[in-house]
């Protein structure tokens, strides 16, 4: 496994704004690499993910404020040359040991992002919110399984916004997912933090609840998510949204 230090001149143009805006070259590269290696080993032992990629390690710049979301301190991004602006499959991790729970957060992040690499190698990734609910849901449920196997806490923010209703979500499903701060009626910012329509990247919480309901109803294992047919998946998402949010 190749590890590389984050270099703003090289990598800023390849990752999303909410990653690069707080990323810098790591001052404790060896410490962060060790934590990431341990996390990769735990993923392999828990679910046997088989994917080939390199890891780029960034350190999070000092952030001001209190009660900030975890992604401000620890964040991952998993890119593929087929879909993104990289030459090879790459897992980016941004972290800082000034965050009290950084090691646990790195484990969650690596499990999630390595699952994305497995997804890239096993099926095509479409562009719509339907497609990305499968993409993100597979990663979330992988991270959950790894955490359960290793006995450390795993958390996903529950959907608490009363304005998120079935009709609102259905309007997003056929739209392409926004990767940065695009503003268009044809592009969905459901997975983006700080948008005008979706403030808190609600897509992740919605996806977790939808995919959990689908897996329970169909008795799916996390691996089954890599094999479900696209048309069946869309029908399952529609059914779960109606059950959960109507």
Same-domain pairing of 142 and 159: yes
Query: For residues 44 and 50, what is the distance between their CA atoms, to the nearest angstrom?
Result: 8
In the predicted model, what is the mean pLDDT of the chain? Answer: 89
139: nearest Cα among 47, 213, 230: 47
pLDDT band at 159 (very low <50, low <70, confident <90, very high): very low
Same-domain pairing of 78 and 6: yes
Residue 170 reports pLDDT greater than 50:
yes
Same-domain pairing of 143 and 206: yes
Same-domain pairing of 154 and 72: no
Query: For residues 114 and 76, what is the distance between their CA atoms, to the nearest angstrom?
Result: 10
Q: What pLDDT score does 182 carry?
A: 60
Q: What pLDDT score does 195 carry?
A: 67
Query: For residues 125 and 90, what is the distance between their CA atoms, to the nearest angstrom?
Result: 16
pLDDT band at 183 (very low <50, low <70, confident <90, very high): low
DSSP, collapsed to helix, strand or coil, labels residue 77 as: strand
Same-domain pairing of 104 and 166: no
pLDDT band at 158 (very low <50, low <70, confident <90, very high): very low
Same-domain pairing of 189 and 242: yes
DSSP alpha helix (H) spans, 56-156: 102-122, 129-150
Q: How confident is the model over 146-159, as a mean pLDDT?
A: 69
Domain boundary residue, one of 97, 122, 147: 122
Residue 161 reports pLDDT greater than 60:
no
Domain boundary residue, one of 122, 152, 173: 122
Number of domains composing the chain: 2
Domain boundary residue, one of 92, 107, 122: 122
Same-domain pairing of 94 and 176: no
CA distances from 195 to 80, 95, 111, 191, 199 (A): 25, 24, 26, 9, 5
Query: For residues 233 and 225, what is the distance between their CA atoms, to the nearest angstrom?
Result: 9
Q: What pLDDT score does 189 carry?
A: 87
Q: What pLDDT score does 220 carry?
A: 97
Same-domain pairing of 139 and 94: no
CB 144 within 8 A of CB 127: no
Same-domain pairing of 94 and 129: no
User: What is the domain extent for residue 195?
Assistant: 125-246
Q: Are strands 54-60 and 75-79 parallel, antiparallel or unpaired?
A: unpaired
CB 109 within 8 A of CB 117: no
Q: Please state the pTM of the whole predicted model.
A: 0.91
Residue 156 reports pLDDT greater than 60:
no
Structure letter (DSSP) for residue 26:
-
Same-domain pairing of 129 and 113: no
Query: For residues 220 and 171, what is the distance between their CA atoms, to the nearest angstrom?
Result: 27
Q: Enumerate residues 6+ apart whose C-beta is below 8 A from 33.
A: 3, 55, 57
60: nearest Cα among 27, 88, 37: 27
Residue 119 reports pLDDT greater than 70:
yes
Please write the tens of the pLDDT for every residue from 7-46: 999 999 999 888 999 999 999 999 999 999 999 999 999 9
Residue % of the chain over a pLDDT of 90? 65
Number of C-beta neighbours around residue 207 at 10 A: 26
Query: For residues 205 and 78, what is the distance between their CA atoms, to the nearest angstrom?
Result: 19
Please write the tens of the pLDDT for every residue from 217-233: 999 999 999 999 999 99
Same-domain pairing of 113 and 150: no
Residue 151 reports pLDDT greater than 90:
no
Same-domain pairing of 101 and 137: no
Residue 130 reports pLDDT greater than 80:
yes
């Amino acid at each position: 496994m190749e590890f590389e230090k984050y270099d703003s001149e090289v990598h800023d143009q390849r990752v999303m704004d909410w990653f690069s805006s707080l990323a810098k070259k790591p001052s404790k590269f060896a410490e962060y690499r060790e934590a990431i290696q341990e996390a990769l080993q735990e993923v392999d032992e828990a679910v046997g993910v088989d994917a080939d990629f390199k890891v780029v390690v960034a350190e999070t710049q000092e952030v001001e404020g209190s009660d900030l979301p975890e992604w401000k301190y620890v964040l991952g991004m998993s890119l593929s040359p087929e879909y993104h602006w990289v030459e090879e499959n790459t897992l980016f991790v941004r972290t800082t040991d000034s965050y009290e729970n950084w090691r646990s957060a790195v484990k969650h992040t690596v499990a999630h992002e390595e699952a994305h690499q497995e997804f890239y190698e096993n099926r095509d990734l479409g562009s719509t919110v339907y497609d990305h609910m499968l993409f993100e849901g597979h990663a979330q449920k992988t991270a959950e399984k790894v955490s359960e196997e290793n006995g450390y806490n795993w958390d996903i923010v529950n959907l608490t916004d009363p304005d998120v209703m079935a009709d609102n979500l259905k309007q997003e499903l056929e739209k392409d997912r926004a990767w940065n701060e695009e503003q268009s009626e044809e592009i969905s910012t459901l997975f983006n933090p700080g948008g005008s329509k979706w403030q808190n990247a609600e897509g992740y919480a919605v996806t977790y609840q939808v995919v959990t309901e689908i897996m329970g109803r169909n008795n799916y294992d996390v691996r089954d998510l890599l094999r479900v047919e696209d048309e069946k998946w869309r029908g399952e998402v529609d059914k779960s949204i109606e059950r959960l949010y109507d």
